[in-house]
Amino acid sequence: MLILERLATQPSLEQLRDRLHEHGHEVSARTLQRDLEELRDEFGVEAEYDRSGNCYRITGGLDSVSMLMNLLERAQLLELVRDGGKPKAAAHECLRFEELGRLRGIHHMEPLLLAVRDRREAKVDYRKFKSSGNKSIRIRPHLLKEFRGRWYVIGPASNYEHPIALGLDRIEGVQVLAARFKRDEKKVVELYDHTIGVDTSPGKAERILLHFTPAQAPYVKALPLHSSQLLEQEDDRGLTVSMYVMPNFELRQILLGYGSSVKVLEPTSLAGDIRKAHQEAAAKYK
């Protein structure tokens, strides 16, 4: 984690070692080289030495860095509380977790990960909200995605025109089948790369341009709304950022949550939706 964080600033070898030293890790140059090789071989993150600049730059696996950091952060937290004794016993006094999803259905993750890895179809017994019975769905799982405390399995499914997302908390049972499938990266993975949440009903990503107030600006920079977020302009009037995502339900809910701290500049259709929602909300308080 420390190496990955420091690589984002294009450090020299000595700066990498200093970073580790500050956190109590004394390593030789050779050990650090092996760590960099492990990042490449085990996790697909490649950092190359730029002799002219005397620094290391991440040249491959950029898409993996964010996911890898999330996994390592959670693994580190588990490391803190997994052993017996006082640390584990006192964990409930020191830690507070969001309880939105409570990881319901997490036991289905292992067979679904197996299906994604081996490209095997899966038969899922699924219960929709407000439904009294289960529905059997045959899905070709391409990826698992977390959003607001819930995990979803995503992929094309029999009798569905477009890829679907099934919440693990609504799954009653999973059976990994022998039938294999060919991954369709463009239809599934790339589609959800440009999706906040799991709603793909708009069907197409667009350039979204947002202006935030000065008070909100540092929070938006520290925690981007999406990996495609780019800084367009910042001055004493606020912050303007762009991103390339679908203007879906989840994005509209997030923007509405910012209230008067954000203004949608583009596209005009999304700006109209947000304006209408605010007007309808205001009318309820008259």
What type of residue is 254? I
Read off the pLDDT band of 123 (50, 70, 90).
very high
Per the document, the length of the chain is 286
In this prediction, residues 99-125 reach a mean pLDDT of 85
The Cβ of residue 13 has, within 10 Å, a number of other Cβ atoms equal to 15
Lowest mean pLDDT, pick from 124-138, 153-167, 249-263, 272-286: 124-138
Q: What domains can be seen in the chain, in order of their start residue?
A: 1-96 (1.10.10), 106-192 (2.30.30), 206-283 (3.30.70)
**Bridge partners, residue 124, by sequence:** 137, 174
Q: What is the mean pLDDT of the chain?
A: 87
pTM attached to this predicted model: 0.73
Q: In whole angstroms, give the CA distance from residue 35 to residue 22.
A: 17
**Beta strand segments in 133-261, E:** 135-139, 143-147, 150-155, 164-167, 171-180, 206-212, 230-235, 238-245
Q: In whole angstroms, give the CA distance from residue 233 to residue 158.
A: 46
CA torsion, ordered 62, 63, 67, 72, to nearest 10 deg: -20
Residue 4 has pLDDT above 90, yes or no: no
